[in-house]
Amino acid sequence: MMIIIAMLCPGLSFLLRGKIISALFAFILQVVAVFTFVFFGAGFLLWGLLAFWAVSSYNNAQANKRNREMIRAMRSRN
């Protein structure tokens, strides 16, 4: 579900995950992307980059969470 939110509204996905500074930056870039799309027709490129950033950030956070859990499980065995 978060990946769909990240693709459709990258700033919101950062905000929902507690990344306030990234959310503000993404919201500003979203506004720029909408204006560039309306006036020049090229805003979809910026939106694509924002969506890629949000999805990759989410996937990286999930991988970090899995790694922490794995390390915790390995430490508890010993």
Would the CA dihedral through 12, 14, 15, 21 be positive or negative? negative
Backbone φ and ψ for 41, nearest 5 degrees, come out as: 80, 10
pTM value is 0.85
In this prediction, residue 37 carries a pLDDT of 87
pLDDT value at residue 78? 66
Model pLDDT for residues 4-59, shown as the tens digit of each residue: 999 999 999 999 999 999 999 999 999 999 999 888 878 889 999 999 999 999 99
| Chain position carrying tokens 């990946």 | 3
Give every CB contact of residue 2 below 8 A, 6+ residues apart in sequence. Answer: 13, 16, 17, 58
